[in-house]
Amino acid sequence: MQILADGTTIKKLYKDGLAPQISLTAKDGIEKILGTWQFDSLGRLTNSQTGGRNTTLDYQGRLTGTLPSH
């Protein structure tokens, strides 16, 4: 959470190291959500809602290369 000089609070909600939601709370206590984001299991953005716009991303393809063995 970050508090600005005018008393506005910026709050970032974290999940799995990513920030799926950011909101502002004014001094009067009214909270405004600035944006929300959804991520797939690989951490890639799949959906965002910011500024009244909704964006959906779809990833196609397959993993190439060799994964390290344990």
d(CA 38, CA 40): 7
How high is the pLDDT of residue 5? 93
Domain for residue 68, yes or no? Answer: no
Residues of the domain holding 35: 2-56
Domain for residue 64, yes or no? Answer: no
Domain for residue 11, yes or no? Answer: yes
| pTM (whole model) above 0.85 | no
Domain for residue 13, yes or no? Answer: yes
The tally of domains found in the chain comes to 1
Per DSSP bridges, beta strands 18-25 and 9-15 are antiparallel
The single-letter code of the amino acid at 7 is: G
Domain for residue 12, yes or no? Answer: yes
Reference 28, options 12, 6, 51, 54; nearest CA is: 6
32-59 pLDDT per residue, tens = 999 999 988 888 889 999 988 999 998 8
